[in-house]
């Protein structure tokens, strides 16, 4: 049986609006700054990438997320989005789905395969 290994890179904004891989030159991984979903949509993805965004909302919802339950970092729109080159679907680890990533389709519809809890 053959196993494939996918390389996941963290991306952050660099000068002139491009995305760049996080700097690991000193041997210590640095957490890059989050980008907006608009910035993310303007860049081609090579391979597999995991990108932190600061303005995600399920299904492209544009309204306020208030009132909202408290979040550890105060930003209910924070999410990690995993994208694949040449594929329109993506995994989304957001505040509302951090324990069960959403498989988001190109139209914004998303599904989660979390099993129902047993009582």
Q: Is the pTM of this model over 0.85?
A: no
Residue-wise pLDDT for 57-81, tens only, equals: 888 888 887 766 666 667 778 899 9
Can you give the residue ranges of every domain in the chain? Answer: 8-111
How many other β-carbons are positioned within 10 Å of the β-carbon of residue 77?
18
Stretch 26-47: mean pLDDT: 84
Q: Tell me the residue ranges of DSSP E strands in the chain.
A: 8-14, 18-21, 48-53, 79-84, 90-94, 102-104, 110-111
């Amino acid at each position: 049986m053959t196993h494939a290994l996918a390389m996941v890179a963290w991306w952050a904004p660099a000068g002139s609006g491009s995305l760049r891989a996080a700097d690991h030159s000193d041997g210590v991984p640095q957490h890059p700054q989050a980008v907006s979903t608009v910035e993310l949509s303007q860049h081609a993805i090579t391979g597999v990438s995991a990108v932190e965004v600061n303005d995600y909302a399920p299904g492209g919802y544009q309204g306020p997320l208030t009132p909202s339950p408290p979040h550890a970092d105060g930003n209910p729109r924070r999410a990690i989005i995993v994208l694949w080159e040449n594929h329109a679907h993506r995994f989304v680890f957001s505040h509302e789905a951090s324990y069960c990533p959403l498989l988001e389709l190109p139209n914004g519809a998303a599904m989660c395969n979390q099993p129902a809890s047993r009582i």
